[in-house]
Amino acid sequence: MRKHFWCADPAAAAAAVRQHCPQDAARAVQIAGDVCAHRFVFRDHWEMERTHEPVQFGPQAQDIDWAHIPAGDPEWLYAMNRHTSFVNLAKAWRLTGEDRYAQQAAALIEDWIDRVPLTEASRADTWRSLETGLRCENWLRALELLDGSGVPNAALRQKIDVCLRQHGEYLVAASNAFHRLSNWGVLQDHGLFLLGVYFDEPAWQQLALQRLDENLHNSVFADGTQWEQSPMYHCEVLHNALDTVHVARKFGIPLPGTFVNAVHRMAAALAAWVKPDGRLPMQSDTDDMDARDLLAAAALVFGDGALRAAAGPDLFAENLWDFGPEALDAYAALTPDTSALGSAALPDSGNVMLRGADGAWLHMHCGCLGSGHGHADLLHIDAGIAGEDVLIDSGRYTYVDSAVRRRFKLPGAHNTTRVDGLDFSTCTDSWGYDKLAVPLKGEHRFTPLADYASGLHLGYLDRGAVVGRKVVFLKQQGVAVVFDQLYGAGAHLFEQSFHFGPGRVQTLPDGALWQGRRAAARLLCLGPDLRLEQSRQPFSREYNRLEEGDVLTACRIAEGFNWFVTVLSLDADGPAPVQAELLPVQRLRRGDTLPAALAQAVRIRKAGQETVVLACHGEIISEVDLLEAGGCSGYGKLLVFTGGEPRGTCLAW
């Protein structure tokens, strides 16, 4: 091996993985064993489209069909030709010392080179520019890990180098307006950069860095969010960009300051976006994945204590392969900055993550759709506590254009509201939309007592209606109060859905009780004239895997202003009693009671504590006056009163 891109001593890294991450070591060896038997299942941690059903080929390398498409989904072909299998073979050789893994890697690499040429037709499948870029990293990782195995021999090494040069020349030419914004551009130009280092080609290095810098300038918001609104694709882009920083620094290659800044912002945004346990919310085209290894890598690259706190105390297998065992001491020396563990807002993307006691959290989205990976999820909320998901996004399941693909993308698959049985955004196919609602990003405020987030959208403006949502999170009590509003004339059907995570759901006259492994939650739907319906609907925590869960839908038909008030009580260890009731809201001086269209209030009793939450939906005070509900009075558009703060905390004016 001419260069070590990642850890300086792969043997030491393998020993550290065996010691500190034995399950990851065993999984790599198991995958490699399947590959040796020509049985392919793509289950790597960051595999973008995981598979679950093994595909078996014959005993000879020539029996493998590199262009195979099982079940009509070309994503299998793409995964096959990214060659993560080669990396697992190389890891298995390092972990076990068994030559069969190295020999199999050599046989498969040579077979692929011989039988999968670059042609005009293969540019659309085995040689898509995305796979070409990803292959560069995976081949170089495999070669680095195999260094010292005698594989590849000199003849195969020459063959590999010729093929990698062809990869580089292809990637130099494969760039257009699509790549200047899409995640594809970052993934393939990262590969070009690595080849530039491998072949000592400064022109390739600089071209790749120029493109990467431009892409992140276009695609990364000021808040650090990658524009496609998918936490998983945010992570894919971050990995490739972060690895570029890591390798460039190792080889003393200057980097654009704007690029490094954007990568750091992306890492900080990921820390804000993840759940308290480091898992990704299943927003848009995202699976249920643990992102702590990526946060830990960013903490090491940037020496950032906030990222260290978000990643947790331990390194992961990929960190040891990338940085070597010496990273253990470097990571331990970083002082965690717990500021990354509180509530956070990504205001440019419209994502707000509210965090409370016992690992309680609530995420809300009201921002741009993003790319075709984005879902019609405006005003969606998901929530959980103590590592269990109570309310979930339904996920993605597949990219094959079908009724189920569209179902997972549309509003009904999300915990949001709909009007008159219609969707506020509608799909044309797997990737396109023919109607897109305009989001109006709202306010947010975080206090020690309670957090607040809000938003509206114009998806029903053609029906003379505007919908909004206000969320108050009582962070010490683990209680969320959700106010939904429909502003419009005439009669409208207003409905909202609640998709529950894995667990048992009991429907009650005023909502539902959810019971997880240990955690529990109580959903209370307040107000008159509500119709509650329970159903079973599909959700998907992983690509290619369907599950079925409980969904509660609340409906109300009303003239003019329509509304829901919902209380969600989260408990880490079994259900705790909770009560909630609507209260009239008055103007204190005038003494008049305000209609629901102008203001609403809720009194919550839980764990011996009473809280009143008062929300204004319109302009109310034209003269000097205060608002009063349940014996509590104050001024503001969103007020929270508790025994510890009897004068009220104002979250919005």
Task: Indicate if 429 and 477 belong to the same structural domain.
Answer: yes
Do residues 528 and 581 share a domain? Answer: no
Residue that is last in its domain, among 549, 575, 601: 575
How large is the average pLDDT for residues 446-453? Answer: 97
Q: Judging by DSSP bridges, how do beta strands 578-583 and 450-457 pair with one another?
A: unpaired
Residue 101, in any domain of the structure: no
Helical (H) or strand (E) element with 114? helix 99-115
Kindly report, residue by residue over 106-146, the tens digit of the pLDDT: 999 999 999 999 999 999 999 999 999 999 999 999 999 99
Of 524, 545, 575, the position where a domain reaches its end is 575
The C-alpha atoms of residue 495 and residue 562 are separated, in whole angstroms, by 10
Q: Is 282 domain-assigned?
A: yes
Residue 340: predicted pLDDT = 85
Entry field: residues in the chain = 653
* The residue type at 193: F
Q: What is the CA radius of gyration of the chain?
A: 27
Q: Which amino acid is residue 498, in one-letter code?
A: F
Q: Is the pLDDT of residue 646 over 90?
A: no
Q: Is 421 exposed, middle or buried (0-12, 13-18, 19+ CB in 10 A)?
A: exposed
pLDDT at residue 129, rounded to an integer: 98
566-625 confidence digits (pLDDT tens) = 999 999 999 999 999 999 999 999 999 999 999 999 999 999 999 999 999 999 988 999
Query: Is there a domain that residue 17 lies in?
Result: no
Residue among 383, 393, 331, 329 at smallest CA distance from 359: 383
| Predicted pLDDT at 2 | 66
The answer to whether residue 324 scores a pLDDT higher than 70 is yes
* CA angle, 553 then 554 then 559, to 5°: 140
Domain endpoint, select from 527, 543, 575: 575
- Whole-angstrom Cα distance, residue 522 to residue 295? 33
d(CA 216, CA 178): 13
Torsion from C-alpha of 403, 406, 412, 418, nearest 10 degrees: -110
DSSP bridge partners of 559 = 491
Same domain, 422 and 508: yes
Cβ contacts of 482 within 8 Å, gap of 6 or more: 381, 469, 470, 471, 564, 565, 566, 567, 568
As a whole number, mean pLDDT of residues 295-319 equals 98
- 332 and 361 in contact (C-beta within 8 Å)? no
In the predicted model, is pLDDT for residue 565 greater than 90?
yes
On the question of pLDDT at 653 being above 80, the answer is: yes
| Alpha helices by DSSP H, 120-256 | 129-146, 154-173, 183-198, 202-219, 231-250
Residues 544 and 612 in one domain: no
Is the domain of 195 the same as that of 252? yes
Distance CA 56, CA 53 (A): 10
Q: Compute the half-sphere exposure of residue 386: CA atoms within 13 Å on the CB side of its CA.
A: 14
Residue 435 sits in the same domain as residue 547: yes
Would you place residue 339 in the very low, low, confident or very high pLDDT band (cuts 50, 70, 90)? confident
Question: What is the average pLDDT score of the chain?
Answer: 97
What is the average pLDDT across 21-36? Answer: 98
Instruction: Tell me the DSSP string of 472-504.
Output: EEETTTTEEEEEEEEEESSEEEEEEEEEB-SSE
Domain for residue 7, yes or no? no
> Do residue 556 and residue 411 come from a single domain?
yes
Residue 614: give the domain boundaries. 577-653
What is the mean pLDDT of the segment spanning 407-417? 98
User: Considering the chain, what percentage of its residues have pLDDT values greater than 90?
Assistant: 98
Total count of domains within the chain: 3
Mean pLDDT within 553-564: 97
Residue 1 predicted with pLDDT over 60 = no
The confidence score (pLDDT) of residue 465 equals 97
309 in a structural domain: yes
Residue 260 belongs to some domain of the structure = yes
User: What pLDDT band is residue 205 in, cutting at 50, 70 and 90?
Assistant: very high
Are 545 and 598 contained in the same domain?
no
Q: For residues 604 and 629, give the distance between their C-alpha atoms in angstroms, rounded to a whole number.
A: 12
Q: Specify whether 521 is located in the same domain as 597.
A: no
Give yes or no: residues 485 and 557 share one domain.
Answer: yes
Per-residue pLDDT averaged across 186-215, rounded? 98
In tens, the pLDDT along 537-552 reads 999 999 999 999 999 9
Higher pLDDT, 646 or 426: 426
Q: Average pLDDT of 330-359?
A: 96
Pairing outcome for strands 645-652 and 638-642: antiparallel
Pair (291, 361) in one structural domain: no
CATH number of the domain at 263, please.
Answer: 1.50.10.100
CA dist., res. 103 & res. 109, Å (int):
10
Phi, psi of 105 (to 5 degrees): -60, -45
- 116 lies in a domain? no
- Is 265 a domain residue? yes
Answer yes or no: do 539 and 501 share one domain. Answer: yes
Q: What is the pLDDT of residues 455-490, one digit of tens each?
A: 999 999 999 999 999 999 999 999 999 999 999 999
The mean pLDDT value for 327-345 works out to: 96
Q: What is the CATH number of the domain that holds 466?
A: 2.70.98.70
